[in-house]
Structure 1
Amino acid sequence: MRDPDGLYDLSTMVDLVPEGLPLVAGLTGFADAGSAVSRVSDFLLERLESSEVAVFDADALLDYRARRPTMYFDQDHLSEYRPATLSLRLMKDDLGQPFLLLTGFEPDFQWERFTAAVLQLVARYRVRSTTWVHAIPMPTPHTRPIGVTVSGNRAELIESMSVWKPQTQVPSNALHLVEYRLQEIGHPIAGFVLLIPHYLADTEYPMAAVAALESITAATGLIFPTESLREENREFLAKVDDQVQSNQELQRLVGTLEERHDTYMEDNPLPSPLADVDGELPSADAIAAELERFLANRPRDEDR
C-alpha cells in the first residue's frame, strides 16, 4: 500500500478533533442515482455546523479533463473559480452530536494511496465506526420505499435492513476499496447501496437523499433535519404520479414493477426483487421516456 504522506493537508484545528467519533462518507462521480450523495453532501454542509479537518490534494487525485471545474465569465473577465474539493470535516448533527464527514469528488487516481490516507485518519482519530452511502439505478417502483443493500461487517444492519443480497461482480468505486481495507483490520464498517427507481435516476430525487440520511442514522444514531426534503419529495412525487395516472401504459408498467417488488418482499423464492419467475427483468423504457419529457419541462428552482 502506497505511503499516504503528502496526499492531504491538516488544518490548524486538527488537534481539537475528539477521538472515537463516527465517520460518514459519500463521494460523487460514479452512479449517483437520484443525486443522493451530492444532495446529502450539500444538505449537510448547508445546514450543519462544520469545520475543515483535512483537505486532499486534488492535483494528485482528480482528472480535470474528465470532470472540469467551473469558471465564471463576467462580460469581459473571469470572475470566479470553483475547484473540486475532497475533504474531511468535523460536523455536528441536529442534536449537537459530533461526527466526521468525508465528502467531495471520488478520486480518479491513486486509490490505494487514498485508501491508506483514509485509514491513517481513521487510526489518528480512533474512529468508532465508518458508514458510507451511494446509489444505483434499479428497475423498482417509485411507489414503494427505497430499498438498500448493506455491505460490510455490521451484521445487525445487514440482517435488519438489507432487502437484496446478491452474489455478483460490481464495478467498484473508491469507497468500496476503503470498505475492503477497513474490513481487513476489523474496523466496524457499513456500506449502504440505495436502490433508486431507474426512471428517476437522472433526476434530483429528494427521497433518495432522505433514504441516505435514514441509513446513516440507523448506523450511527446521528439525527438530521429532513422535513424540508420530505416536503420537497411530496411535491415531486405528486407531479410524477400525475404523469403516470394520465397514461395507461405507464400505469401498467408501474403496476408490473409493483407486483414483482411486492412478490419478492413477501418471501417468494424469486432470485431477485427485480425479476419474474423466468428470470427476466421488466422493461420500463416507456416510463423513462414519458417521465423524461415531464421532468424536462419542470421549472427549475430559480424559476419558481
Structure 2
Amino acid sequence: MHDPAALYDITPDADDVPEGLPLVAGLTGFADAGSAVSQLAEYVLDTLDHTLVATFDADELLDYRARRPTFTFDQDHISEIEPSTLSLYLVRDDLGQRFLLLAGFEPDFQWQRFTAAVVQLVERYRVSTTTWVHSIPMPVPHTRPIGVTVSGNRSDLVEAMSVWKPVTQAPANALHLVEHRLGETGHPTAGFVLLVPHYLADTEFPDAAVAALSSISAATGLIFPTDRLREEGRDFMVKVDEQVAGNHELSRLVATLEERHDTYMQGNPLPSPLTDQDGQVPSADALAAELEKFLATRRVDGEGDDRS
C-alpha cells in the first residue's frame, strides 16, 4: 500500500488542533436518503465557526465521470467550477466546544488506503471518539420520528437508541470500513444509520438532518443550532401531509406503514418495523407513483408552485 499520508494535505492551522477531540464524519455519494448527510455538512459549515485542517486528494479518490463537478456558464464563458471536496475541519459547536468534522464525497477508489489515512489522523490527534452518520431509504411513515440503527462498540448507545437490530448483508459505506478498523483497536466508535421514509429518499428532508445532528449530540455531547432546520422541516411536512390527505390511496398506504411501525415499537414480536407478520415488506410503488413525483423534483420549502 502506498503511504496513506500522501492522500491528504495538512494546512498550517493543523498544528493548532488540540488532542482528545471527538471526530464526527459523514460522506456523500451512496444512499444519502433525504440528503441527511449532505444537509448536515452544509448546515454545520454554514452556521458554525470552522477551520480547514486537511484536504484529501480528489484526483486519487474520485471518479469524475460518475460524479462530475458543476460549472457555471455565464453567457459566453465559464465563470466558476465547483470542485468536489473531502476535508477535515476543526469546528466549534454552539457552546464553543471543539470537534473535528470529516465531510465531503465518499471515495470511489483506494478504500483501504483511505481508511488507513483516517486512522492515521485519529491517532495523530488522539481523537476521543468517532461518530459517523449515514441514511438509507426504508418503508417507514413520515408521521413517526426517524429511527436509527446504531453500530460500533459503544453498547450504551446501541441499547438506548437502536430501534432495529437486524442480521443482514448490505452494500457498505467507506465509513463502515473505518468503523471496523477503529473498532479492532478498541477506539470508541458509533455509526448511526437513519431510517428515512423511502418515498422521501430523493428529497432534501430537513427532519433527516435534524435526526442526524441529534444522534451526534447523543454520542458526543455537542450542541448544534437547529432552529432553522426545524422550521424548514415543519414547512416541508405541511406540504407532504397536504399531498397525502388529498389522495385516498396514499392515505391508506401511509396508515398501513404507521400500523406496522407502531405494532413493532409497542413490543409486538414482529421481526422488524418494516414488515408484516408474514415478513413481507410493504410495496413502495403506489406511494412512489404520486408522492415522489411531487417531491423528488424539488426541495419543499414553504412557498412555491404546487406540482402533483
Whether TM exceeds 0.5 here: the answer is: yes
Instruction: Look up the SS of the partner of 1:216 in the other structure.
Output: helix
Instruction: Look up the SS of the partner of 2:156 in the other structure.
Output: helix
* CA distance 1:230–1:251, change in 2 (3 Å): same
* CA distance 1:58–1:146, change in 2 (3 Å): same
Q: In the alignment, does 2:137 pair up with 1:137? A: yes
5+ long unaligned stretches in structure 1: none
Equivalents in 2 of 1:170, 1:97: separation in Å?
A: 35
Equivalents in 2 of 1:216, 1:129: separation in Å?
A: 11
**Residue in 1 aligned with 2:236?**
236
Runs of at least 4 residues of structure 1 off by over 4 A? 296-304
Instruction: Look up the SS of the partner of 2:187 in the other structure.
Output: coil
TM normalised by structure 2 equals 0.96
- Deviation per residue, 1:194-248 (Å, 9 max, x gap): 0000000000000000000000000000000001111111111111111111111
TM normalised by structure 1 equals 0.97
Contact 1:2 1:116 in 2 (8 A): no
For 1:97-112, what aligned pairs fall within 5 Å after superposition? 97-112=97-112
Shift of 1:294: 2.5
**Residue in 2 aligned with 1:63?**
63
**Residue in 1 aligned with 2:227?**
227
* CA distance 1:303–1:59, change in 2 (3 Å): farther
For 1:185-196, what aligned pairs fall within 5 Å after superposition? 185-196=185-196
Contact 2:232 2:302 in 1 (8 A): no
Q: In the alignment, does 2:83 pair up with 1:91? A: no
**Residue in 2 aligned with 1:260?**
260
Equivalents in 1 of 2:302, 2:254: separation in Å?
A: 31
Contact 1:2 1:112 in 2 (8 A): no
Shift of 1:297: 7.4
5+ long unaligned stretches in structure 2: none
* CA distance 1:302–1:147, change in 2 (3 Å): closer
Read off the aligned partner of 1:27 and give its amino acid letter.
L
* CA distance 1:84–1:128, change in 2 (3 Å): same
Equivalents in 2 of 1:217, 1:170: separation in Å?
A: 26
Shift of 1:14: 1.2
Contact 2:203 2:298 in 1 (8 A): no
Equivalents in 1 of 2:189, 2:134: separation in Å?
A: 14
* CA distance 1:298–1:59, change in 2 (3 Å): closer
Equivalents in 2 of 1:55, 1:282: separation in Å?
A: 43
Instruction: Look up the SS of the partner of 1:190 in the other structure.
Output: strand
The farther-off stretch of 144-153 and 262-271 is 262-271
Equivalents in 2 of 1:151, 1:293: separation in Å?
A: 33
Sequence identity (%): 73
